[in-house]
Amino acid sequence: MALIHSFEKSGNWLFKYRGELPVVLFLIAVPVVYFSDINWLTKANLHLITWIAVFFSVLGFVVRAISIGTTPKGTSGRNTKEGQVAESLNTTGIYSTMRHPLYVGNYFMWIGIVLFTFNFSFVLLISLAFWLYYERIMFAEERFLEKKFGQPYLDWSLTTPAFIPSFKIYKKNQIPFSLKSVLRREYSGMLATVFGFAFIDILRYYFSTGTITYQRNSVYIFGIALLIALVLRSLKHYTHLLQEEGRS
């Protein structure tokens, strides 16, 4: 099998099972937190790193929210677990500054949790693994778009960076930002991110004290996030309040 076909095949396989990636990260985080020595960090440094970690995750959520909130139905910005989906090419708004904003958002959301382990080697390792993992997925996605849209896609891809945005080539969105789209589609990602922070916090407390307690700020925040997610899920499945015409 030629390398181009091998990369495309592996990319489609990784795309299909990308939802299992957080589970792998949580499993790896257990020994990382256990063996990480944070005694050399002052309390002020720990607080600073925590806020930086939260900032990264919030930044990732914002990038994803902008992407999803300005994506019309059936464009290249909406894929499913079963495979690539695109009825039209999305080249305006955030997609005019970079080709894969959702994956950029994913990176920042998860690297915030990774940084919260206070293990900088782990941050570098996961960053490298993330790039290798998503590079194949992006390759498969771009092969699909190239086959479907041909020259228009090539013209866009040759002038638009894959990962690092270029704001000087920004083009205005075709449709306005929709908060309903974000609320309808992003509550699970928000909940998973908050759970990640709570998981690391409880794990670190257990390894340092030998006891488990749920009377921690991270657990309270997770409880609030869970309540919000349940409300949004109910509105999505049992009402029409979050439904919109022309949106995925």
Number of DSSP helices (H) and strands (E) in the chain, helices first: 9, 0
Residue 123: name the closest of 113, 133, 132 by CA.
Answer: 113
DSSP bridge partners of 171: 93
Per-residue pLDDT for 39 more than 80? Answer: yes
For tokens 């994803």, what's the residue?
Answer: 64
Share of the chain above pLDDT 90, in %: 56
The stretch 204-208 carries a mean pLDDT of 94
Please, what CATH class does the domain formed by 3-178 belong to?
mainly alpha
Pair of tokens at residue 201? 């916090």
The stretch 11-28 carries a mean pLDDT of 78
Pair of tokens at residue 105? 């958002």
pLDDT of amino acid 139? 85
pLDDT of amino acid 9? 75
The identity of residue 2, as a single letter, is A
pLDDT of amino acid 83? 54
Least trusted range by pLDDT, from 71-75, 93-97, 142-146, 241-245: 71-75
Residue 61: name the closest of 191, 227, 230 by CA.
Answer: 191
Per-residue pLDDT for 217 more than 50? Answer: yes
Query: Using one digit for the tens of pLDDT, what is the confidence trace for 83-124?
Result: 556 667 888 899 999 999 999 999 999 999 999 999 999 999
Spell out the domain ranges in the chain.
3-178
Question: Phi first, then psi: what are they for 247, rounded to 5°?
Answer: -125, 150
Residue 240 falls in which region: left (phi positive, over 0), alpha (psi -120 to 50) or beta: alpha
Query: Using one digit for the tens of pLDDT, what is the confidence trace for 172-201?
Result: 988 889 999 999 999 999 999 999 999 999
Is the distance from CB of 43 to CB of 92 less than 8 angstroms? no
Opening angle at CA 150, ends 149 and 154, nearest 5: 105
- pLDDT level of residue 148 (50, 70, 90 thresholds): confident
The stretch 27-35 carries a mean pLDDT of 93
Q: Is the dihedral of CA 121, 24, 10, 71 positive or negative?
A: negative
CA separation for the pair 108, 98 (Å, rounded)? 15
Q: Give the predicted TM-score (pTM) of the model.
A: 0.89
CA separation for the pair 83, 6 (Å, rounded)? 17
Mean residue pLDDT of the chain comes to 88
Query: Using one digit for the tens of pLDDT, what is the confidence trace for 225-245?
Result: 999 999 999 999 999 998 887
- pLDDT level of residue 78 (50, 70, 90 thresholds): very low
Residues in the chain: 248
